[in-house]
Each structure stands twice: as C-alpha cells, then as structure tokens.
Structure 1
C-alpha cells in the first residue's frame, strides 16, 4: 500500500487513490472514509435482505399452496447459508483485485438476480422445488458480499476507529436480516403496482383466507438496489493494496486465524443460523407445524388448545431476533474501541452459553397442559432466543475489534473475510442440524461449542498475561 507521508490523498481524477495512509492524519481523508462507510453500509443492508429473503418467505409457502414438507422448508432456508459461505471464499480475495468501487457496484447489481427470481417464483405454487433451491442458492450472493465489503472498508480507517467503523457497517448491515422479516408482512398486504403480479390466497389457522401479494417482498428492494449501484459507481474510490491472491493466503500460517474463526462461528454463525431458522422454529414448535397442534386443529378440538392461546404467526416474531443482534453489534462497537474486544468476546460466550441452556428447556412444548402453560412456554422460548441474539451481537462487535488488533493491516482484511466466510455457513449448519436431529440435541451441541470458545478466549486473548491481548 502506498504510504507516502508527505503527500495529501489524491486520486488523479480516477478511481484509484495514489496516496493513502489512514494512520497518518496528513494523508487520511476523513470525509472520504465516512462516505465510503455510508454507501457500503447501505448496499450491505440490501445484500443481507436479499440473503435472508428465503427465511421470510419459507414459513409462508405452505400457506400459499406450495406442497412442501418440514424438512424441505428447513433445507430451503439452509441453502443460502451454504452458498454464502462458498461465495465469501471468493469475495474475500476480491477487494485488492477489483477495488472498492467495482466490487461494491457489481455485487449490488448481482442482487437483482435472486430478488427478481423470488418475485416471479412465489406467485406460482407449481414452481418446482429444484427451482426454489436454485433461488435459495443465488440468494447467497447477498451473504457473499460481506467478505468483500468489510475488508474493503477496513482499508479506509485507522486502527483506533476500526471497531466503531466495522461494527457500524456490520451491525447496520445485519439490520437487513430484520428488515426483510419485518417489512414482508406489511408489503404483502396490498398491490404495489398491477404489472408486478396478481394476488395469491393465503390460509392461516384461525383466520379467514386473505388476498396477499408475496412478490412485493422481493420487488420492494429492486429500486433501492439500483440506487445503491449508482451511488457506488459515482462516489466510491479504491485503495491500492499491494498484495496478490497467493500472498493473502499466508493468514493460514497464523494460529490466531483459526482461533478467531472459531470465535466468529460462535458469534456470527449463531446470529446468522438462528436468523434463518427462527421463523421455522416458531412454526414447527408452537404453530401449525407442530404435529400435535396440527392434529388438534384437524380433528376439531381446537378450543382445547387455543382458548387463550393464539397460534403465533412466525413473521410477527422472527424479525425481533436479528433486530436485537444487529442493535447489539452497533451499540457495543464503540465500547470495544474503548475497552478492547477480548473481554466482550468472553462476556458474549458466557451469555450465549447460559441463554442456549435456558432456551433448550423450551423446545418440547406440551400442548396437553392447556393454553396458559403453552403460552408461558412460548414466551420463555422467545425471550431465550432474544437473549442468544443479544450476546451473539455483542460478540460480533468484539471479534471485529480483535482482528485488526491481532493482525497487520494486510492480513486483517483477509482474516475478516475468511472468518466471515466460514461463519456464513451458520444458516446451512443450523438447517442441516435441525433436519437431522431434535432441537434439544442441536442446542446441547451448541452449548458444548460455546464452552470451548469461552476457554479459547480466556486462554489466548482475555486473561492477564494472555499471548495476544486484544
């Protein structure tokens, strides 16, 4: 990277900056850095919305007439995590090659592929499951963007501000997960523009059939994607980072790359995995997807179960978890700059462990104890899940503070991209796990993993005299 301390930052009228050292106030352009953060954060939020659109649509597909099993729905929500993890391995090496301007612009335009595809497919219940899986895979483009956007933005800020800058970008970007799940129930209730498609009929236990327009859940983002691409192309610059793709892989010779990968799986992997599955868990544990509840609805004994207990609509709750996790990441990022990241990662691990253990007690609701008991169990489940999201969000902020402190600038970008890529498999692993085993077993495995990560954090980074305090 060019670091001439005697030269003001300049671009020569082109895309690439000719002198840039954010650690030197004489060459660092603060306005350009924050403008870059603003635009990339806006487009990253759209990318996350595109990535998790399957999780907002999947719990409703059977209500729209799609003939899909519970396992097929879990897989539909899991596949975007698989593709995002794979694509992040590609995107992580692109920032030095393409530069921020081209990377953000082209990636943003690619979001149109899954969005338009979902808008068309959701209107036809005869759409093949293979095509739905293909759309779910293409949704991973939005997840892949993270491993390109975050390292690219890190080039623009000094280390003392990277916890705040990266925390803001990732945290606000994470709001895209909550956004797509919050906006969907609202926008599907009316026809935005006639030529965008006809209505569908939705059935839901305890309610009369209703006309809905689920294509709106995807169309609503298309104009914002186009705006984001234009802003990126016209207002962003690129930092010349002198490194080849081969050189970027020297991060794997550093043991801290692997330790931080584990910690980011615990934090962001949990956030992303549960964000994708929260709605389906509500439906399959406490809604019509629970066989005991479905049987009672079918045989006319509904009142035995639901007097005083309303069957929860997954989309009415699913946005809360990502919202809490994203807010925690934003709010705690400045605190990681002030107090360091390792101690917050330790707190995150302990909090995740306690919350997972608590929530595991609510995963086998007993519908025979009456409505009041079932409602109490559901409330405990939701609160436990929100606690997991809270501590995962804190850890998302703290780990991104640790990495720039542990690694040199060139390596830090690569490590951020790599750890983000592996953690992006969270929705896939959570989907597969919940398909292959009972939820309680899966949560017990999560608790054991959290205990291991707590030990790693304490021994390597947080204890007095730790080898790499951060």
Structure 2
C-alpha cells in the first residue's frame, strides 16, 4: 500500500513527505493507530524482516560453508574452521552499536538501504575466494570478518521497528522482526548445501554429480542483497521523531539495567547464534567420518544443521507473545531454567561419545546411535533460547517505559515527553544490549575449538559445563532483580516487566 490509499477523512492518518519521511507518528494514539498507523507499521515491519533475514543468512554463511571447505580441497584444521565460524560473530557484535546509532542519524529506511547494499561485500568476496584453492587462510579470515555486516543489521532493524509500535504490541512486533531475521540462519543452513550441489532436499532436489560449487551461494545472496536494497527504497519510511544524537543514546550505558539485560542476552541470543554457527561442525566432527569415500559414514550434517536455528527462530515470537501476556521476567526465568536442564542432558549424551577419528567408520557407527538424543536435547536448548530472546527484548522497552511512568504523572505533558524519551533510550539500549549479547556467538565456537585442549570432544564437554554455570547465573539474576520483591532490590527492580 501507499499512504495515498488512506481515506482522506481519516484526520489522524500519518502523512509522508519527500524522502519517505513521516513527521507525525503517534502509535500510542488509538485513533492514529487505527486510521493508517497500523498499516504503515506493518509495511515497514515486513520489509525490515526481509532485509534482516538476508543479513542473518549472510552473517551465518560461514557456519555451514566451512564444513564443505575440506571437500573443496582446502586443508584447514578443526580449530581453523571454528575460527572462520566465529569471526563473523565477533565483527557482527561490534558493528551492532554503530548500526543502532545509524537509525536516528540517517533514518530507518535510508539505513536499511545502506546496510543491505553492504552485504554485496561479503557475498561477492566469498564467491571469488572459494573458487581458488590457493587462497590463503588469512584471506578467508578477512572475508569471513566482512560477513559481520549481516550481524549488524539486526540492531538497526530492531531499533527502527521499536519506534513504530505501541508499548502493548512491542513484544509481538519485535519478536516477529527478530524471528524473521533469526530464520535466515536456518534458511542458509538448509539451502546452502542444496544451492552448491552438496545435498538434496526432501527428495525434490538431488545432490550435484558434478562436484561442489560454493561460489553459487555467494552470487545468489548478492542478488538478494540488491533486491533488499530496492525494496527498502520503494516501501520503507523514515520517522522524524526517531532522530536523536549519539551522545543522548549513549546515556543508556550509565544505567544498571543496560548491563544486567546484556548479561541475560548473552545467555539467550548469544547461545542461539553461537550454537547455530557451531552446530554443523559439531555434528560433522563427532558423528561423521569421510571414509569410505565419497559418501562417508554416520550422520551427514547438511540434513540436520538447520533444525536448531529453525526451532530457535520459530519460538522467538512465542517468547514475545508470552512476555506480553505473563511478563517478560517470568518467561525469561522459565527459559533459563529450560536451558540449564537441557544443556545438562546434552552433556550427559556427550559423556557417552567416543572421540571420532578421521578414518574409522566403526566409531562413527557407535556414535550414530546417540545422535537422536544429542539432537533432541540440543533442539530443546534452541527452543529455550528462542523463547528467552523474545522475552528479554520485551523486557527492555518495558523497563524504560516503567521508569518514565514512575517519575511522572499520568495525563501530563511531562509524562508524554518522558515516554518519548524512554522510547529513544530503549532503542539505544536494544543496540547496546544486542551488541554485547552477540559476543556469545563468538565465544561459543571458540570454546568448542579450545586450542589448549588437544581432544576436540573434551573441549566440547568442558564448554557445556561452563555454559550450564552461566545459565544458572542468569536465572538467579533474573529472579533477584526483576521478580523478587525484597526491599533490598526495590530500587533496581522494575515489577511486571
């Protein structure tokens, strides 16, 4: 739709001037929302989801392509492959802060165009590098780092959509926006093996008999980046009221809630993106051996790697909806409880595995019998991370809004101004918290590769022990700060978030 489609009699309807800028945006006004605001918000949400979905796909393109590099003739160690998986997550987390600040500076529509166009860099470089077996490892590291552009998209997209929706609908809207982006991880892990000829899909497409063509994936996603740029240009908007100065946004780093929520978000989103990045290699290293060639023995990662990210993406809007209904803190505590239980279950399964040598099909067969348990418990972890992602992102704007309401009187201009400022601060907080939380996506693959541990399986077991302890800490913090009513925490806690 276009804004000219809105009936002229709807006096409260939003209007758009040159450059797709909307000067009057009042989502908390019921008349404004029903007379055009809802439609504009939905249109921007749809195209924001598309651009963010593409960004996530590019961000995680190395998570599955790294598992194919050996078959392409590249000689990299497991530690080197895990580093290639981890580097985009490191860069993506660092870029989230400037990407968040870019929305108020350039406008949500304008920055979506720029960030989508930047995805041409990692996709085209990827397509060129994988065609040459002489490409040195350090070049691969640099190219993998540029995939972090896709990770930055999440922060700007979430900060932008936060301005469009009223408080009562933020949990669901932000959950849908994030889920659409998160689903890009599952889609790239499902479709990349098919696109490059490395695997079939549901019997509809067969694996290529002419070898692997990794470069095809790079070219396909470069084309999609162009499409996302054009779509943002045609159908998205900028909000004048969403502008603010970086100095004003950075004030959120002084608030204890910013750092507490960042701690929790490392546990939810950091786990989601870190496990998503590492899962293909975890399956390949522990449940599959390349002999006898060409098919190998055991579990082929390409058929299962996408499931975790898919489950985590689907449950994210569920977490937002549950948070809208029951309160974000309660749902977050439940998510961390589930993560503790299911991580311990995965650890018990790993204790029964035999270290998987590179050429012993018998070992792969033994481990293969444990794979359903490993996969089932791992998928439950992903489901918990998705719910926790949705609920924590509901908590953030709720915390800032509650503080604004507590400090002002209902129905006064001061209350209106305070809520407007709180929305801007919450959007900035979403970027800061998202940037810190995404660091988990770097730390988890590095923990699995632990170069100081000779046996990769031992490194994996040790990593899950550390992760369990961290989830216990997050559960305790959630309860103590946001659910407990003791007077000792009253000054910090925000009830009902």
* Shared fold, TM over 0.5: yes
The aligned counterpart of 1:122 is 130
Q: Does 1:468 align with 2:494?
A: yes
Q: What are the equivalent positions in structure 2 for 1:301-312 lying under 5 Å apart?
A: 310-312=297-299
Structure 1 position 273, deviation (Å)? 0.3
Look up the SS of the partner of 2:27 in the other structure.
coil
Q: After alignment, is 140-149 or 25-34 more displaced?
A: 25-34
Asked if structure 2 preserves the Cα contact closer than 8 Å seen for 1:325 and 1:391, the reply is yes
Residues in 2 aligned to 1:375 and 1:114: alpha-carbon distance in whole angstroms:
35
Structure 1 position 7, deviation (Å)? 6.2
1:76-102 deviation digits (Å, cap 9, x = unpaired): 001001100111121121111011111
Residues in 1 aligned to 2:12 and 2:18: alpha-carbon distance in whole angstroms:
16
Structure 1 position 109, deviation (Å)? 0.6
TM-score by length of 1: 0.88
Residues in 1 aligned to 2:124 and 2:476: alpha-carbon distance in whole angstroms:
45
Q: What are the equivalent positions in structure 2 for 1:151-300 lying under 5 Å apart?
A: 151-189=159-197, 211-240=211-240, 241-288=242-289, 297=291
Asked if structure 1 preserves the Cα contact closer than 8 Å seen for 2:82 and 2:449, the reply is yes
The aligned counterpart of 1:194 is none
Look up the SS of the partner of 2:370 in the other structure.
helix
Q: After alignment, is 368-377 or 432-441 more displaced?
A: 368-377
- Alignment: residue pair count: 435
Residues in 1 aligned to 2:384 and 2:161: alpha-carbon distance in whole angstroms:
25
Structure 1 position 136, deviation (Å)? 0.5
In structure 2, relative to structure 1, the CA distance for the partners of 1:283 and 1:90 (3 Å cut) is same
Structure 1 position 212, deviation (Å)? 2.3
1:103-157 deviation digits (Å, cap 9, x = unpaired): 0001001111111111121122211111111111000000011111101111011
In structure 2, relative to structure 1, the CA distance for the partners of 1:372 and 1:126 (3 Å cut) is closer
Residues in 1 aligned to 2:237 and 2:27: alpha-carbon distance in whole angstroms:
14
For structure 2, list consecutive stretches of 5 or more residues without a partner in the other structure.
1-10, 199-206, 401-421, 454-458
Residues in 2 aligned to 1:397 and 1:179: alpha-carbon distance in whole angstroms:
20
Residues in 2 aligned to 1:445 and 1:212: alpha-carbon distance in whole angstroms:
37
Structure 1 position 343, deviation (Å)? 1.1
Q: After alignment, is 50-59 or 231-240 more displaced?
A: 231-240
The aligned counterpart of 1:451 is 472
Look up the SS of the partner of 1:62 in the other structure.
coil
The aligned counterpart of 1:379 is 372
Asked if structure 1 preserves the Cα contact closer than 8 Å seen for 2:332 and 2:391, the reply is yes
Structure 1 position 16, deviation (Å)? 2.0
Asked if structure 2 preserves the Cα contact closer than 8 Å seen for 1:285 and 1:363, the reply is no
Residues in 2 aligned to 1:429 and 1:165: alpha-carbon distance in whole angstroms:
29
Asked if structure 1 preserves the Cα contact closer than 8 Å seen for 2:287 and 2:364, the reply is no
Structure 1 position 375, deviation (Å)? 2.4
Look up the SS of the partner of 2:75 in the other structure.
coil
Q: Does 1:421 align with 2:435?
A: yes
The aligned counterpart of 1:15 is 20
Structure 1 position 268, deviation (Å)? 0.2
Residues in 2 aligned to 1:165 and 1:180: alpha-carbon distance in whole angstroms:
23
For structure 1, list consecutive stretches of 5 or more residues without a partner in the other structure.
1-5, 191-200, 203-208, 289-293, 301-305
Asked if structure 2 preserves the Cα contact closer than 8 Å seen for 1:172 and 1:330, the reply is no
In structure 2, relative to structure 1, the CA distance for the partners of 1:397 and 1:454 (3 Å cut) is same
TM-score by length of 2: 0.83
Asked if structure 2 preserves the Cα contact closer than 8 Å seen for 1:180 and 1:217, the reply is no
The aligned counterpart of 1:327 is 314
Residues in 2 aligned to 1:388 and 1:119: alpha-carbon distance in whole angstroms:
33
Q: After alignment, is 52-61 or 367-376 more displaced?
A: 367-376
Q: Does 1:400 align with 2:387?
A: no
